[in-house]
């Protein structure tokens, strides 16, 4: 493989039909799958402080760079975010992480549910440099 990129994916294991331990090694540890519960949430199920999540992401980036990878590509599924308060907290996190990523070697993409409210959609789009929306068919 000519591109040395490591991919970290967060996912909701209750929605995943694939056993993450059965995902083949792509060589040199290029894929790491992390449950959103372990990455984003504290033991009480609340969103961890931004600083803690950012430190974990930066640590993953530093380990990837130390192994010779050029960058860390992160993909996060936010389908587990529910409720207005949790959505507001997560968007606040997204605003902070988007600003922090500018000084890193991390390329991140986030997916969101399509059934968000208009206010949530505006907040999501505002929190990201780029956004793509695919309206559900009626």
Cα–Cα distance, 73 to 71 (Å, whole number):
6
- Looking at residues 63-73, what average pLDDT do you find? 86
pLDDT at residue 26, as a whole number: 52
Domain ranges (residues) in the chain = 5-113
| Helices and strands, number each (H, E), in the chain | 4, 4
Lowest-confidence pick of 14-23, 44-53, 101-110: 14-23
More confident residue, 131 or 28: 131
More confident residue, 131 or 50: 50
The pTM score is 0.72
């Amino acid at each position: 493989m000519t591109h040395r990129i490591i991919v970290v994916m967060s996912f909701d294991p209750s929605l995943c039909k694939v056993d993450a331990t059965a995902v083949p090694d792509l060589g040199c540890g290029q894929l790491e799958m992390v449950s959103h519960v372990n990455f984003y949430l504290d033991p009480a199920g609340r969103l961890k402080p931004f600083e803690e999540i950012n430190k974990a992401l930066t640590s993953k980036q530093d380990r990837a760079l130390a192994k010779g990878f050029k960058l860390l590509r992160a993909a996060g599924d936010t389908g587990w975010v529910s409720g207005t308060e949790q959505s507001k907290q997560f968007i606040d996190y997204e605003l902070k992480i988007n600003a922090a990523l500018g000084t890193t070697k991390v390329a991140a993409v986030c997916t969101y549910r399509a059934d968000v409210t208009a206010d949530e959609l505006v907040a999501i789009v505002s929190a990201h440099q780029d956004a793509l929306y695919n309206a559900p068919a009626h």
